Amino acid sequence: MEFVIFLIVASLLFTLSVTILSYFAQKEVGDAGYAARRVLDPVLNSSIILVIVGVLTLESVSAYIEDLVVRILGERISGWIGLPVWTVLFVITLILTGKWIASKFSKLTKSPKSESFAANCWYGYWTLSILSYLAGGLIGFLFIAIPNILLFLGGLYYISDFILPLPDKRKRVDQLKAFRCLITFSMGTNYPYYFVDDNDELKEYVKGNRSQQFFGGPGFVYTNCHQAVFITDDGTNSRVAEPGLTFTKRMEQVSKIIDLRPQVRAFPVETLTKDGIPTDVVTFVPVRIDQDDKEIELGKSFPFQKRAVYKALFDAPIRREQDKEKSGQKYEWNGGPKDGLIPLLGKRIMQDIISHYDVDNLCEPNDPRVKIADKMKEEIKKVLESRGLKLIGGGISNLMPPNGILERRLENWQTQWKAKIEEITEKEKTHRMLALGEARVDAEKEIVESGQNIEQNKDLQLASVLRFINSLTKWDTDKSE
């Protein structure tokens, strides 16, 4: 009678454990009550069958076999045969029942791997239960088997904290998910496990069925400290996860990895000046996802604003091209020189700024590049802020007209400067000649006025003065020539 009570208690305990486990495992992915009932039916039926078989074999089959053996072998050796025969029958019933439960569980989970998992759990549970019962009866089962099972499950829960790098913010909640990852991975009902490799590429290291409903998930994605994750499902739900470890739910998939580091985009711009001269300039625009003025701290991930990520991803313009493959795609904020949002906006702004300058203004001694770069940064900053991006610098290269245009402009400048030099030279020569003529007239006038006072050596003094004036005039003429 005690063994029958043991079978009933052990069967009910196994049924209750599996039902509770299925309820909490299904709670996040669907109807937990429905899942618990689906598990309860085959487990409870198999447990009832096991109890009935155990009772029948204990009372009827054992007595029949013992009576048969007495008739054949005699009473002396018949006493110890009934128990082995009953044991064999009970073990066969236990094995067949375990296979039936495992096949039912495999059909529910739609995973071949879960069949071996369920069978191993069934055999391990009953082996430990029977050994503890043989060691101490019903008391042995209650105080040996049950504590060991709880200790085993508690140990799995404890080591799940060390299997995955869980964040500190929600450690208890995430540890439960890590424990579920350990169980569902063993059953083959996990969702995909993603990692970002050293080349910043997303890789699916462990495959999984993200639509798995019964005993499914969770999955996870693990990124570096400078990478946020944009996660979507097949509907309209989406979310932005922080760098590090992020668990995924049913139907969720990793849509995009967002690099939070500063991104520098350099792109050539073809412009036209105010006087219609084509000019090439390379523009440099460093940007990053807006981090709300938070500083980067050592040992922590890159800060960012989640709403800024939404703006950067969804406020991008759509490409309209004749190529059907490219048409309809977005200009991504971190795209390259040909398909990126930054080059698209920067080219328009630079073309508008250069159109207000002519070539002579661009090539003035006072370099206008600083003024042009400041104007470019001011304009592009306004556009980027509305899209969740922050400008952290910028600049332009030398302004380069085409070679033929540049050579012609140099020749024109050379001709203009030569004409200016000749004009200045002629003006200076004329000015000197006029000054010398006035000096000669003034000198002669002064000599005539002072001639009355010359009494001695009159002719000699006059000749000396005139000779001096002629020499000065000749020297100036030779110097000008």
Domain boundaries, the chain: 2-163, 186-259, 263-401, 422-480
d(CA 177, CA 160): 9
Tell which residue, 121, 68, 460, has the closest CA to residue 113.
Answer: 121
Residue 394: CB atoms within 10 A of its CB come to 20
Token match 């447990």: residue? 47
β-pairing verdict for 245-248 and 219-222: antiparallel
Task: For the chain, list residues with pLDDT below 70.
Answer: 1, 3-4, 19-86, 169-171, 235, 321-328, 337, 364-365, 402-413, 437, 439-481
Residue 69 Cα to chain centre, angstroms: 76
Tell which residue, 208, 258, 216, 213, has the closest CA to residue 238.
Answer: 258
Q: Is 100 exposed, middle or buried (0-12, 13-18, 19+ CB in 10 A)?
A: middle
pLDDT at 327: 60
Token match 């440099």: residue? 284
Contact 191, 176 (CB under 8 A): no
pLDDT at 33: 45
Residue 197 Cα to chain centre, angstroms: 12
Handedness of CA 417, 421, 422, 427 (dihedral sign): positive
| Beta-carbon contacts of residue 42 (< 8 Å; ≥ 6 apart) | 100, 101, 104, 105
pLDDT at 260: 92
Handedness of CA 28, 32, 38, 42 (dihedral sign): positive
Residue 257 Cα to chain centre, angstroms: 3
Going from the C-alpha of 170 to that of each of 29, 194, 236, 360, the distances in angstroms are: 20, 20, 26, 64
Between helix 171-187 and helix 2-26 the angle, nearest 10°, is 110
pLDDT in tens, 102-140: 887 788 778 888 889 888 988 888 889 888 888 888 888
Residue 55 amino acid letter = V
For residue 252, which phi and psi values (nearest 5 degrees)? -85, 145
| Fold held by 263-401 | Tetrahydropterin Synthase; Chain A (3.30.479)
pLDDT at 324: 60
Q: What 3-state class would DSSP assign to 290?
A: coil
Residue 127 Cα to chain centre, angstroms: 49
Maximal C-alpha separation, the chain: 191
- 106: tokens are 């495999």
Between helix 112-140 and helix 82-109 the angle, nearest 10°, is 140
Neighbour-count burial for 177-212, b at 16+ CB within 10 Å, e otherwise: bbbbbbbbbbbbbbbbbbebeeeeebeeeeebbbeb
Going from the C-alpha of 68 to that of each of 62, 64, 73, the distances in angstroms are: 10, 6, 9
pLDDT at 445: 67
